[in-house]
Structure 1
Amino acid sequence: MRGATASVDGAAASTRHVAVEYSSDAEWAGHLAEFVRAGLAAGEQVRYFADATDPGLVTRTLTRSGVDAASALRGGQLVVITADETYLTGSRFDPDAMIGLWREAVDGAAAQGFQGLRAIGEMSWGARDLAGAERLLEYELRIHHEVFEQLPLTAWCFYDRRLLAPDELAVLARAHLTRSGAAVRDGEPGLAVAPLAGPPGFRLSGSAGYESRRVTASAAAALAASPAEHLTLDLSALDHLDVAALADLARAVRRRPYDTPVRLLNAPPALHRMLELFPELGDGFQEVSR
């Protein structure tokens, strides 16, 4: 197995971080058994981070699905723990701490002789009034480049439609480059943000206005926290960006530890007009086209 510092192809990384949506216990059980069975067969360590689900139900469901969960638990190949022991260590959610935990987990699996690590994380805690839960979107945006492009890890983020508001779920799911079980919705969120599959950066699509202020704030936080020196913001699918949203992004650029400008790819005409009116907001950006 490659070490934790190994580089992983960006396109391949996009298929290893998956948003999995479901609406019933039967759907949940099907996704669970498929994922765990594949990991055990490949000699990988499989970890399940439970939140709304009792950990005992996870192992009982696997057993009913024909998976020898008891043996996998005894051998350390299957580990079932809770969100409080992972995402919410320290009674709050901290994306930086969780990114560090992934690195430790991958190293730990390798040290135990497993061929890799795969994990399922229940994300229902993001809908509760918990300290740091507002940073979940920032985390989902960051980990493509900071985790999956760096580490030999496969993870499915489990999103239960019964526990999350549709608009919130749509925004979080669209932060993944690969989705499974995506529901048919009447309308997508006003602003969607996703990591780029190639160069480090993010793609904004839709409308960045007052209604999407929290999404813009998460995108700005991910932009500021990125360890990549060269970043791109792909605005090809952006319909609208108001001055407040542009100011959020501009402040994020100023917080970055690099003097390298952030590339604005295919900025819409409205943004050009705003930069003419407020040229100070363009500091740290470089407009480019394909």
Structure 2
Amino acid sequence: MDIVRHQCLVYEGSPAKHLRGLAAVTIAKLKDNNRCLYLNSPPMVAGMRSYLAAAGLDVAEAVRQGALVLSSSQNHIVNGAFDVDNMLDMLEAAVKQALKDGYRGLWATGDMTWELGPKNGLGNLIAYECGLEDLFHQYPSLSGICQYHIDTLPPSAVDKALRTHRSVYINEMLSRLNPFYGVDDAPAPVESADTHKEMVGWLRAQEC
């Protein structure tokens, strides 16, 4: 599998600082005839809409055509809890529909804090990422970036993110092979505080 198709963005500070870069990637994917899905909270969706427009995209027209989907839907949340199967089924249906509609594929990016829901379904995170990896293998037309906000997630979530993604998105011009990748379907080991600090330190170094 092309390692850059399934990436993670793990970051500190304001999520808005990455909107410009993600907007640039979105526009590039649209130009390459991909349907693009952006899933996040209502304020972040509004922010992405603004950055896309500032970059020259006719957002209303792209949405009208179905090429661009900006969503705050949490239909995969059941009784406040993150439902892995619902989320994976939704993504599989979305990539199938994109192909049926004549697109080259589906590119999706979403914020994991928003996706996990109010009960913060971290217990299902490894199962979700492993299931997602299977989807990427099954559908070469699927690509995307999972966003992990260090400030809103516990250290274990950040560690799991880096264990389950081969490639790390740094910005619209730069991705890195992930030296921490290497988890399978078995439960992830408990990460030590030193390991977590090493991971975060590596991420900070990539942004310099």
Aligned to 1:176, what secondary structure does the other structure show? coil
Q: In the superposition, relative to structure 1, how do residues 120 and 131 fare at CA in structure 2: closer, same or farther (>3 Å)? A: closer
With the length of structure 1 as denominator, give the TM-score of the two structures: 0.55
Counterpart amino acid of residue 147 in structure 1: L
Report what 1:69 is aligned to: 59
- 1:149 positional shift: 0.3
Give CA deviations for 1:115-154 in whole Å, capped at 9, x if unaligned. Answer: 211111111136765174420222112321x200001200
- 1:26 positional shift: 4.9
Matched, 1:163 2:120: no
Q: Verify the 8 A CA contact 1:55 1:82 in the aligned structure 2.
A: yes
- 1:172 positional shift: 1.9
Q: Verify the 8 A CA contact 2:8 2:167 in the aligned structure 1.
A: yes
Give CA deviations for 1:142-192 in whole Å, capped at 9, x if unaligned. Answer: 321x2000012001111223322344313223211111239xxxxx99xx7
- 1:31 positional shift: 2.9
Matched, 1:15 2:4: yes
* Structure 2 runs not aligned, ≥5 long: 172-178, 192-208
What percent of counterpart residues are identical? 25
Report what 2:35 is aligned to: 45
Report what 2:138 is aligned to: 150
Q: Verify the 8 A CA contact 2:81 2:118 in the aligned structure 1.
A: no
Counterpart-to-counterpart distance in 1, 2:49 and 2:152: 22
Counterpart-to-counterpart distance in 2, 1:65 and 1:156: 20
Matched, 1:84 2:51: no
Report what 2:24 is aligned to: 34
Report what 1:235 is aligned to: none
Question: Where in structure 2 are the equivalents of 1:1-290 lying within 5 Å?
Answer: 10=1, 12=2, 14-23=3-12, 24-51=14-41, 53-85=43-75, 87-88=76-77, 91-125=80-114, 129-130=118-119, 132-144=121-133, 146-151=134-139, 152-181=141-170, 193-195=182-184, 208=189, 211=190
- Structure with the largest fraction of helix: 2
* Structure 1 runs not aligned, ≥5 long: 1-9, 183-187, 196-200, 213-290
Aligned to 1:72, what secondary structure does the other structure show? helix
Q: In the superposition, relative to structure 1, how do residues 120 and 109 fare at CA in structure 2: closer, same or farther (>3 Å)? A: same
Report what 2:201 is aligned to: none
Report what 2:176 is aligned to: none
Highest RCO, 1 vs 2 (Cα 8 Å, sep ≥ 6): 2
Counterpart-to-counterpart distance in 2, 1:108 and 1:57: 26
Report what 1:280 is aligned to: none
Q: Verify the 8 A CA contact 1:18 1:177 in the aligned structure 2.
A: yes
Counterpart-to-counterpart distance in 1, 2:117 and 2:89: 23
Aligned to 1:162, what secondary structure does the other structure show? helix
Report what 1:223 is aligned to: none
- 1:41 positional shift: 0.6
Counterpart-to-counterpart distance in 1, 2:163 and 2:42: 22
Aligned to 2:123, what secondary structure does the other structure show? helix
Q: Verify the 8 A CA contact 1:92 1:133 in the aligned structure 2.
A: no
